[in-house]
Structure 1
Amino acid sequence: MKINFIGVPLFYGCDREGVNLGPNDLREKGVIELLERNNHEVYDLGNLHVPEILECDKYTHHNKMKYLNAILNVNKNLAHQVYSSLESKSFPLVIGGDHSLGLGSISGCSKYHDNMAVIWIDAHGDINTHETSPSGNVHGMPLAAAMGIGHDTLTDLYYQGQKVKPENVFILGARDLDEGELKLIEDYNLNVYTTEDIRKLGLEEVMRRVQNTLIEKKIDAIHLSYDIDSLDSTLVPGTGTPVADGLSVDECKYMLKHLIETRLVKSMDFVELNTKLEEGDSTISICMELIDYISKYL
């Protein structure tokens, strides 16, 4: 497979430095060589340019969304790079950076595919808007914006209108949902499987339900957006918003394998590694393990 490795050194969405180092940290660990060892033709497209914004200016463009214009700029460029990758029959592997980049990835995929699904594996829903977000951090808003919910500067990124239908969105592993997100889940009857649901139903049943829905909706492509905080907080100290009672590495591998084996996964994000938050390299080692596992099934 031809893989376009796209680095997005963005921390403005989470407002916590360190996560912007993720793409280069993984390169230094040998992630490109790892992908090549798994028989992929890898094109390292480098890192997208992220404009430098002073902290004192983070609310300049909106009083409830931090660093808005810079995030929009990066995401617009990412959307076009993802779209161009798909046009060239390559697999865009987007490495963050924080999860606000998910809006750009989805926007690029949506322009290319006719009936796509988004599978969001994350401890958080990332379906807040500027009106419901308790923090003003845009990494908590990209999935809502992709569904056409929220501020029009986000919802109309790259091209005007909704990028993915709410019924084609799946959130897996969530366990830290804000009040506004819970209401949105109810209002739109979103496909959400929390860690509690996964424990109750079992992973096999959850994946069976997801795959049946994909077939029922006649999905032609999946954008898979993976946040490492889906893992239990004890496993990933090197991420900005760790949450207890999360998934094990084996549970994540099980989900990723079953999704990739549908042969519908055509693009992927891998986000929220922040090596500045821990001593040692346990988190980045798990990231390398997961990327290695994923690439064996692509």
Structure 2
Amino acid sequence: MSGSGENILKTPTFAYGSPQAAPVRKIRVLGVPLDMGASRRGVDMGPSAMRVAGLEARLEALGHQVTDGGNIRVEIAETQALGSKSARYLKQIAETCERTAEAVVKALEDGVTPLVLGGDHSLAAGSVSGVAEFYRRQKQKIGVIWIDAHSDINTPESSPSGNVHGMPLAALLGLGPERLANLFGYSPKIAPQNTVLIGVRDIDAAERENLLRAGVTEIYTMRDIDERGMRVVMEKALRAASKGTAGYHVSLDMDWIDPEDAPGVGTPVRGGATYREAHLAMEIVADDGKMLSMEIVEVNPVIDEHNRTADLAVELACSAFGKKIL
């Protein structure tokens, strides 16, 4: 397999906003019920909540071929040692990320698109590493579209909480922690010029410094979305993530969306994307046709309202995989 999109059964050749149908894909769902990276518990039930919301059937209704690969094995926090307070449960999270990365590589080798369900965002160190490794073997790079209220670029040295779900982007860009950064024996996994942050609105001072140190410049805050509009932001983001790459991974943290529409998330922050802005972003991703893989994280059924957030997560997955209004 060349990595040029052969995991997509029909290669699209259309511009943003075109009414042409999105490519039919083979999709493998992978659950990662991980909640050791966060202080607030409950996101380990996120994969089940999204499955209950009808993920597989709703994607199949779009014409895709969907299989469920089950859940990646995750240790139970209460049975594990906390480890360093600057990176709590780092050993166990890294082991989960290793298993996640291998499962993602296997999916891509099988010619299917991985759709990873979280779990907290620390799992992205594994999922993105798996995609990057698959394409590295073919001498290609990948981009990342990081859609999140937070930049997740803290390190154990800079983190005020020691929560590893605030560190996966730092790991992928080679800043650390080393245990996460060096999956598959090399670092970094992604280049800063192909790394795009969208919707951020809660970044601490240390993270600003880490963004500068890593060389990430494609950062679109909620103010950028307010001023420029979602379409302009997404088109710029997708161009940056695609430049010189085989395509991009979409990492969607549900706390990107305003808590009015997505109340059941690990770390809610007011002032997020609206329901329609979120769908528009995913629709533009589908129109672009260069998404290699996707994950949806931080759905917390414990604090959700009648599974609203999981249902919205499934709706957004459908939009990313080609569902249109007309």
TM-score normalized by structure 2? Answer: 0.86
Cα distance in 1 between the residues matched to 2:175 and 2:239: 26
Equivalent residue, structure 2, for 1:90: 112
The 5-angstrom pairing of residues 204-223 of structure 1 reads 204-214=231-241, 217-223=243-249
The 5-angstrom pairing of residues 46-65 of structure 1 reads 46-54=70-78, 57-58=81-82, 60=83, 62-65=84-87
The 5-angstrom pairing of residues 189-228 of structure 1 reads 189-214=216-241, 217-228=243-254
Aligned mate of 1:174, from 191, 200, 205: 200
Residue 136 of structure 1 aligns with an amino acid whose one-letter code is G
Would you say the 8 A contact 1:224–1:267 is kept in 2?
A: yes
Residue 258 of structure 1 aligns with an amino acid whose one-letter code is I
The 5-angstrom pairing of residues 136-155 of structure 1 reads 136-155=162-181
SS at match of 2:31: strand
Distance 1:214 1:30, change over 3 A: closer
Cα distance in 1 between the residues matched to 2:321 and 2:74: 27
Would you say the 8 A contact 2:119–2:297 is kept in 1?
A: yes
Equivalent residue, structure 2, for 1:158: 184
CA RMSD of aligned residues (A): 1.7
Note the residue ranges of structure 1 that are not aligned, 5 or more in a row: none
Cα distance in 2 between the residues matched to 1:90 and 1:56: 34
Note the residue ranges of structure 2 that are not aligned, 5 or more in a row: 1-24
TM-score normalized by structure 1? Answer: 0.94
Greater mean deviation of Cα atoms: 11-20 or 221-230: 11-20
Cα distance in 2 between the residues matched to 1:277 and 1:218: 41
Equivalent residue, structure 2, for 1:102: 124
Q: How far does the alpha carbon of each residue in 1:41-63 deviate from its partner, in whole angstroms, 9 at most, with x for none?
A: 111111111112327821x2x23
Equivalent residue, structure 1, for 2:63: 39
Q: How far does the alpha carbon of each residue in 1:184-224 deviate from its partner, in whole angstroms, 9 at most, with x for none?
A: 22331421000011111222322232244345x32211010
Equivalent residue, structure 1, for 2:32: 8
Asked whether 1:131 is paired with 2:157, we answer yes
Aligned mate of 2:262, from 236, 258, 273: 236
Distance 1:278 1:206, change over 3 A: closer
Residue 71 of structure 1 aligns with an amino acid whose one-letter code is I
Cα distance in 1 between the residues matched to 2:121 and 2:219: 18
Would you say the 8 A contact 1:261–1:297 is kept in 2?
A: no
SS at match of 1:95: strand
Cα distance in 2 between the residues matched to 1:45 and 1:197: 38
Q: How far does the alpha carbon of each residue in 1:3-56 deviate from its partner, in whole angstroms, 9 at most, with x for none?
A: 110000000011322110111122222221112111111111111111123278
Would you say the 8 A contact 2:145–2:241 is kept in 1?
A: no
Equivalent residue, structure 1, for 2:316: 290
Would you say the 8 A contact 2:287–2:322 is kept in 1?
A: no
Would you say the 8 A contact 2:47–2:117 is kept in 1?
A: yes
Cα distance in 2 between the residues matched to 1:75 and 1:292: 25
Q: Once the 2 structures are TM-superposed, how far is the Cα of residue 158 of structure 1 from its aligned partner? A: 2.9
Q: Once the 2 structures are TM-superposed, how far is the Cα of residue 297 of structure 1 from its aligned partner? A: 5.0
Would you say the 8 A contact 1:119–1:172 is kept in 2?
A: yes
Residue 63 of structure 1 aligns with an amino acid whose one-letter code is K
Cα distance in 1 between the residues matched to 2:110 and 2:323: 21
Cα distance in 2 between the residues matched to 1:204 and 1:277: 31
SS at match of 2:130: helix
Would you say the 8 A contact 1:240–1:272 is kept in 2?
A: yes
Count, aligned residues: 295
Cα distance in 2 between the residues matched to 1:205 and 1:292: 22
Cα distance in 2 between the residues matched to 1:80 and 1:212: 28
